[in-house]
């Protein structure tokens, strides 16, 4: 006989835990992880090996393969190191609850316009999985951890959409500071 619905609920716990469990089942192999970050800006794209980003994050030294692009972006290796490793203290439970909420789903949709799979298909489950895997061990996440846990071999960062999202967030923040709650 199958367990009753009540027993299943008590066995599996919250919906967030079930979501995390299903996401981890979908992408359970840590062998599948982003090997390459492809940064796009319009028709331009540049590929960076995640191992090079890991080296820069650990040492603050940019591999030769990144020197040209850092110069082009007028970015110091230490600045990129900070962006890659800046920790955000969030528990896996917080991430699960946030992603289960309507506002979290909206945020996930916006972020997958910035960070996505090559085709865009499956970007939301991939990002969800990366976020959950990044917080499981240490209740922290960083951009580098998200890349390391992204369950495809290539992850795409759309720079134009990143700038749009950043402007949108800054605008919302300014409205909050000014007390403007109109849409």
Q: Give pLDDT tens digits for 42-80.
A: 899 999 999 999 999 999 999 999 999 999 999 999 999
Contact 150, 34 (CB under 8 A): yes
pLDDT(13) > 90: no
Span 85-104, pLDDT tens digits? 999 999 999 999 999 999 99
pLDDT band for position 145 (50/70/90)? very high
Q: Which of 80, 76, 96, 182 is nearest to 136 (CA)?
A: 96
The pLDDT value recorded for residue 176 is 79
Averaged pLDDT of the chain: 83
Q: What is the DSSP letter of 114?
A: T
- Residue 59: the pLDDT is 97
Mean pLDDT of 176-181: 72
For the cut 60, the answer to whether the pLDDT of residue 6 exceeds it is no
Span of 14-18, 30-34, 136-140, 167-171 with lowest mean pLDDT: 14-18
Please say whether the beta carbons of 34 and 153 come within 8 A. Answer: yes
Predicted TM-score (pTM) of the model is 0.76
Residue with tokens 């960070």: 115
Instruction: Report the distance separating Cα 82 and Cα 73, nearest Å.
Output: 15
Per residue in 152-165, pLDDT (tens digit) is 999 999 999 999 98
In the chain, domain spans: 14-178
What SS3 class is residue 58?
Answer: helix
149 vs 183, which has greater pLDDT?
Answer: 149
């Amino acid at each position: 006989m199958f367990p009753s619905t009540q027993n299943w609920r008590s066995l599996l716990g919250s919906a967030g835990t079930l979501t995390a469990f299903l996401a981890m089942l979908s992408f359970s192999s840590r062998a599948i992880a982003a090997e390459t970050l492809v940064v796009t800006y319009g028709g331009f794209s540049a590929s960076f090996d995640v191992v090079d980003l890991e080296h820069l994050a650990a040492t603050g030294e940019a591999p030769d393969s990144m020197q040209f692009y850092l110069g082009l972006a007028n970015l110091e290796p230490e600045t990129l190191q900070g962006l890659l490793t800046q920790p955000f203290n969030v528990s896996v439970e917080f991430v699960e609850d946030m992603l289960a909420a309507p506002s979290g789903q909206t945020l996930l949709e916006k972020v997958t316009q910035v960070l996505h799979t090559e085709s865009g298909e499956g970007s939301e489950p991939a990002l969800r999985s990366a976020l959950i895997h990044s917080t499981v061990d240490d209740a922290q996440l960083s951009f580098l951890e998200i890349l390391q846990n992204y369950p495809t071999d290539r992850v795409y960062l759309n720079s134009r959409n990143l700038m749009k999202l950043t402007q949108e967030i800054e605008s919302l923040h300014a409205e909050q500071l000014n007390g403007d709650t109109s849409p």
